[in-house]
Every structure is written in C-alpha cells, then in structure tokens.
Amino acid sequence: MTSEAKPKKRFGVKRWLILGLIALGIYAAFIGPSILKPISPVVVLPAEPTGLHIGDFQVTNTILATLLADLILILIAFSAWRFYRRGGEAAPRGIVNAFEAIVEFMWNTVSGSAGKWARRIFPVVATIFLIIFVANIVKLVPGFESIGYLKQVHEGTGYAPVELFNIGGLSAYTIDKGQPIEVVVEGPETDGHAAAADDHGEASGEPCTACEVVPYLRGTATDINFPFALAILTVVLTQVYGVWAQGPRYFEKFFQVKRLVNGGPFGIIDFAVGLLEIILEFAKILSFGFRLFGNIFAGALLLSIIGALTAVVVPAGLYIFEVFFGIIQAYVFFLLATIFISGATVAHGHEEH
C-alpha cells in the first residue's frame, strides 16, 4: 500500500497582506510620526457645511452623504432593471443577486402583513428600507467623517496644522496629534477677536492655528433631520392609507362620537381612548426618529472613539458589528412602518362589520 502525500499548507498572500496591514497600523498609531496618529472625534450634533451651495441653499455633509447613497441605490436599481429587461434567463449574480434576495425578503414580509394591500404598500416601505440600509453601509467606507477641511477651534482642544503638499498653489493640510493646542475663551472681546481672526484666515487662504477637521461626508442618520423626516413621512402615509382603505370612517377611531352619545359610561371611556390614539400617532414620530438617530449616532461615535484609542484590529471587529447593526436598524424601521400602515387599512372593533 502506498500512502498518499499530504499537501503542504501554504501561507497565502492574503494572510501576509493582513499581517502587513496590522504592522502598518501599529507603526502609524504608536511608532511613526505624530501626524499619522488617529485623532479623537469632535462630537457635533448639527450637520456641518461643506462649502457647497445650490443657490442660497447650503449643502451640508449629511446632505452630501444622502445624495451619494441615493446615487448608489439608483445605480443598483438601474443594473437590476437592465438585467431583467434583457430577459433575465441566466441566474443573477453579484449585486443584482443580492438586490433580488433583499427585495424578495421584503415582499414576503409585506405580503404576510398587509394581504391584498401589499402591492400598494410595498413601494413605500421598500424604499424606506433601501435608503436607510444603503446610507448605513456607505458611511462605513474609509474617509467618511475623517476627510474634510480644517476649521479654527474657538474653545477647547485643537491641533496644529501640517501641510502635506503644495501643487500649483493648492495646499493640502492635516492636523498633528503631537501638537495639541488649548484654546481658552476669556470674554466677549476674545470671542470677537477669534472670529475676526478666523474670517481673516479663511479670506486670505491661511490655515487655522488650533484646528479640527470638518468632514466632507458624514453618516446620513447621524443628522436628526433624516430620521425625523422619514418618521413624519411614515406617520402621514399611515393616515393616507387608512383613509384610502376605509374612507372617512377611518377617523372614527380617533373621534368616537357615536360611542360617546349611545355608549353610556363605556362610551365616554371609548371616546377618551380615541383621543389617546391621536397622541399615539404623534408618539410614533418620536419613537421612529429617536430610535434610528440614537442608535446610528452612538454607533458612529463608538467606532470613532475606539478607532482613536486602539487603531489596530479592534476597529475591524467593530466594522463587522456596525454592518450588522445598520441592517437591523433599517429592518426595524421597515417592519414598524409596514405594521403601522397595514394596520391602518384594517377596520377596528365594531367598524369591521
């Protein structure tokens, strides 16, 4: 009997690449020049301007990120449309295959909840899911919330600017973590002087003295306007579909006048419950908006802080967690929107008859 020779295990190129990236991260974060070290993020709730304008309208970094997510979603949809227009005889592959799987999963969810109204509800809730999903995934691309322009710090800790290169008078700067600068505001005169100096610096093209980075792109859902806009849209559409399915009778669940007149003591209770339903509709806006905003903002902040503290290995694990978390948040918003809208199409209690 001859024994088969066991193949030798090869230390693949991918492993060397991973080890090389880890070594490069260790060098940049702990050994190399201080300009390579990661900077702790600046926590800012409002969206920041990018310097772009559409007429008098100022484009913020979250609006720019939203437009990018919209563009990616349109390109994916166009690719899927082209594939099925050609007949779709071959099995879909790559992005089209993933897109089909997501759409099929959403359709099964909506059809199981909305019944005959599924075809009318599906386009709305599917669009909501896809825009949240794509926006949450796109914000994990390297460069989001880290590449931008320098801005003068008027209070707190800033960092000294460092010129990376100058080509034809066009300069690129970064900030040096090894040169922190404390800025102390002493009074109104100091505030005015600092603002004037900042304006002079921007006008003359000179860099700031104590700087922070204002990113060109920032996670869409970290701007409270985005989740609350979707929340208001969802609640409004809930009322629209309710009236569409039941007509004016839909509002009887809010104003149960017949029960108040003919129901005796229990009619008074039913009427009060109807008024509470109105409050509940407004509470849905708060629940929708703060859930999405709080979770995504906290996740982005956690990723930035851990990335500044550890810089190597740990952020990669958090990235996987953030991908999963972004999908879950999009699905929760989609599922609640489906339940609320489909529930509005169904008559309640004695009205069903």
Please tell me the distance from the alpha carbon of residue 164 to that of residue 41, in angstroms, as a whole number: 21
Residue 3 is assigned to a structural domain of this protein: no
Final residue belonging to a domain, choices 164, 191, 215? 215
User: Among the ranges 118-132, 144-158, 269-283, which has the highest mean pLDDT value?
Assistant: 118-132
Above 80 in pLDDT, residue 39?
no
Query: Given a cut of 50, is residue 197 above it in pLDDT?
Result: no
One domain for residues 133 and 249: yes
Residues 254 and 208 both lie in one domain: no
> Out of 78-92, 206-220, 233-247, which region has the weakest mean confidence (pLDDT)?
78-92
Residue 22 confidence (pLDDT) above 90: no
107 & 131 share domain: yes
Domain count, the chain: 2
In a domain, 39, yes or no: no
Which of 193, 197, 226, 218 is closest to 209 using CA atoms?
197
Q: What is the pTM of this model?
A: 0.82
| pLDDT for position 162 | 83
Contacts of 243 (CB under 8 A, 6+ apart): 250, 251
Together in a domain, 94 and 240: yes
Q: Looking at per-residue confidence, does 268 or 293 come out higher?
A: 293
What is the pLDDT confidence band of residue 323, given thresholds at 50, 70 and 90?
Answer: confident
DSSP state for residue 32 in the 8-state scheme: S
pLDDT confidence band for 83 (50 / 70 / 90): confident
Please identify, among 215, 231, 259, the residue that sits at the C-terminal boundary of a domain. Answer: 215
Listed residues 173, 199, 215: the one ending a domain: 215
Q: Which residues contact 81 (CB under 8 A, 6 or more apart)?
A: none
- Kindly state whether residue 32 falls inside one of the protein's structural domains: no
**In which residue are the tokens 């304008």 written?**
53
Residue 179 within a domain: yes
> Which range of residues forms the domain containing residue 157?
148-215
Write down the pLDDT at residue 9.
59
Q: At what angle do helices 314-344 and 118-138 cross, to 10 degrees?
A: 160
